[in-house]
Structure 1
Amino acid sequence: MTALAVVLSGGLLWLYVFLRTVHLARVAPLRPRAAATLLLFGKRLDAGAIDADYVARLSRALALVREGPYALLLLGGHTGAGLSEAAAALQWLQQHGLPTEADVRCEDASTDTLENLRNARDLLGPDAAERIALVSSRYHLPRCLMLARSLGLDAEIVAAEPRLRGNASLLVRLVLEASYCLWLGVGRRWAQLIGHQRMVDRVT
C-alpha cells in the first residue's frame, strides 16, 4: 500500500516525508521545553558494548539529569546475550557520575521503538498524561515522535548530538527512517479507512 501511495504521488509523498524527517532531525533542541520526564532510547549493543551513538544519547541524558530535576526512564531490552540495553545504560551512567539522588527507572522488556514506548506508557501510569521528552539520536527522533503521538503521549524531542552532521552514513539512516515513517503513516491511515482494528491497535 505504501509503494502504491508513493507511485500515485509521483514520489512526492516520500520526498515530503524525507524532508520533514531531515527538518525534525536538524532543529531538535538539546533540552526539554516543558517535560519533567526523559525517555532515553536504547541502542543495540555491539558484543555487549555501547557504541558512539549510544554514548551520545547517554551523555545528553546525564547532562540534563545533572541540571535537573528530571526523572529518567531508560528504555531497551535484550537484543543479545548479556545485559539489556537499559541495564547497560544504567551501568554507564553510574560509572560516569550519575547523581545518587537521581530518579531513574529501567524498561528492559522491549526490543523495538514501538515496544519501548508502549511499555514506557504502562510504567509511567498516570504520569503518562504529562509531557515527556524523547532523548535519542537526531536521525531516530522523527520516528520516536511519530510513534509516541500515535500512542497518545504528549511528547517533545531532545537530540543527543549538538548538531546534525552531514555524511553518507547519516544520509542512509535518514532515508531508512523516512521510509519507516512513511510506511507507518500510510499503514495506519489505511487500517483506519478499512476498519482493520487489529492493525490500528498495534500503534495506539
Structure 2
Amino acid sequence: MLLVVGLVLLGVFLLRFRKDRRRLSNGVFLLLGLAFTGVWLIGSGAKGDLPVVLAGLLVLLSPLLVLVLAGLLIVNGGQMIRREGLRVANLLPLGLGVALLVPYVLLGVAIFTRDIWVVVILASVTMAVSYIGFLFASFLLYSLFYGSLPYRPGMDAIVVHGAGLIGARVPPLLASRLDRAIEVYRAELAAGRTPLLIASGGKGSDEAVSEAAAMAGYLIEHGVPADSVVLEDRSTTTRENLLYTKQLLGERGESTRMVLVTSNFHILRTAILARRLDLDAEVTGARTAFYYLPSAILREFAAVVIAYKWINVIACLALTALPVLALVLTRDMPHHYGD
C-alpha cells in the first residue's frame, strides 16, 4: 500500500511538473512521494523486527538531529553577523536555531510541572513547527531539484537580476550572476540565436551608479557586444525586475520569452513569482558562497511563506487547535500526571 501511495504521488508530481515546473506544490508532492516510497523500500528489505528497530532509532535520533540543526544554525548566524554585519536578515539563522530549541524547553517544563496544559501548549507548538518544517523541506528539496535542471536554449531575452553594488563596483555575488548570464548567452549563440541580454537593477541610495549600468559595463568588458545589452534601471525589487523587463520588451516589440538569471538560492522564489505574474520565463542560478546559503535560503523561504500567508496562517491555526480540541473532548482527564 505504501508503494502504491508513493508511486501515485510521484506520478502526480511528474504530471504537474510537465505542465508547469514553477510551482512550490511540486515540491510537496515530490517529498511525499519519496517519503512513502522510501519507507516501503526500507520495510520491504527488512526482516523480522528490523522495521520496528529502524522506527525506534528514527524516533530517538530525530530530536538529536533537530538539536544538531539548531546548533549549526546558531553558529551560522554568528558567522553571518561577523562577515556581513548586524542586520535583520543576518539574524534569521540565529533566530531559527533558538526557535528550534523552544519545544525542548517546553518539554522540560512539562516534565517538571506535570501540568497537562503545558503539554497541550507543547503539542500545539510542535504541530505548527512540524508544518513549517515540512514546507521548508519541500521548498529546499524542490529548490535543489529545480536548480539542477540543465539550461535549455531557446530564449529571446536573458535577464540578469541585480544584487547590490559596492559604490560603483560589482561585488562577487553579482559577478557570479553575470558570469552565469554570459554562459547562457554563449549557449544561445551556439544554438544559432542572438538574444538580448538585459541588465536589471536600479540605483540604491548608497550606490554611485545604477546596478544596471555597472552590470552592463561588466558584460561588455567580458565580451558581450554592446548592441546586445539593454538596461532596465528602475527596479528595486524582484517583482519590479520582472514587470519593468516585460514592459521594456513589449515597447521594443520583442517576444517576452525569457530566462531569468539570479543566484541559486533565489531561483525557486523567482520562478514562482514569474508564474504568478503570468510571464513566459524560466530561471537559472549562479553559485553562491557556502557560508551565505543558510541565511539566504531562509530569507527566500520566509518570503514564500509570506506570499501565501493566508493559506499558511489557516493551516497553522487548524493544527495548533487540534491538541486543545483533544483536551476539551477529554475534559475528564486529570490536570496533572499521576492523579
Same fold (TM over 0.5): yes
Does residue 49 of the first structure (1) align with residue 169 of the second (2)? yes
Does residue 107 of the first structure (1) align with residue 232 of the second (2)? yes
**Displacement of 1:55 after TM fit?**
0.8
Structure exhibiting the larger radius of gyration computed from Cα positions: 2
- Counterpart position of 1:135: 261
Unaligned runs of 5+ in 1: 1-6, 191-204
Unaligned runs of 5+ in 2: 1-124, 314-339
User: Of 124, 128, 139, which aligns to 1:10?
Assistant: 128
- Counterpart position of 1:177: 300
Write the distance in 1 (CA, Å) between the matches of 2:142 and 2:167: 31
Q: 1:108 to 1:26 in 2, by over 3 A?
A: same
User: Of 124, 133, 158, which aligns to 2:249?
Assistant: 124
Equivalent pair of 1:32/1:156 in contact (CA under 8 Å) = no
Q: 1:13 to 1:150 in 2, by over 3 A?
A: farther
Q: How does 1:30-179 map to 2 (within 5 A)?
A: 31-32=151-152, 34-67=154-187, 68=189, 69-79=194-204, 80-100=206-226, 103-125=228-250, 130-161=256-287, 167-179=290-302
**Displacement of 1:120 after TM fit?**
1.2
Equivalent pair of 1:64/1:70 in contact (CA under 8 Å) = no
Query: Please, what is the CA RMSD of the aligned residues?
Result: 2.9
**Displacement of 1:168 after TM fit?**
4.0
- Counterpart position of 2:141: 23
Q: CA deviation digits over 1:4-59, x for unaligned, max 9?
A: xxx79623443344234323432324523543321110111123221111111101
The alignment partner of 2:308 has SS state of helix
Relative contact order higher in (CA < 8 Å, ≥ 6 apart) = 1
Q: How does 1:186-201 map to 2 (within 5 A)?
A: 186=309
Write the distance in 2 (CA, Å) between the matches of 1:57 and 1:91: 14
Equivalent pair of 1:66/1:99 in contact (CA under 8 Å) = no
Q: 1:129 to 1:98 in 2, by over 3 A?
A: closer
User: Which portions of structure 1, spanning 4 or more consecutive aligned residues, are displaced by more than 4 angstroms?
Assistant: 126-130, 187-190
Give the TM-score of the pair, scaled to structure 1: 0.76
Equivalent pair of 1:39/1:73 in contact (CA under 8 Å) = yes
Write the distance in 1 (CA, Å) between the matches of 2:308 and 2:254: 23
Write the distance in 1 (CA, Å) between the matches of 2:131 and 2:291: 23
More helix by share: 2
Equivalent pair of 2:157/2:198 in contact (CA under 8 Å) = yes
Give the TM-score of the pair, scaled to structure 2: 0.48
Equivalent pair of 1:107/1:119 in contact (CA under 8 Å) = yes
Q: 1:128 to 1:170 in 2, by over 3 A?
A: farther
Write the distance in 2 (CA, Å) between the matches of 1:44 and 1:184: 23
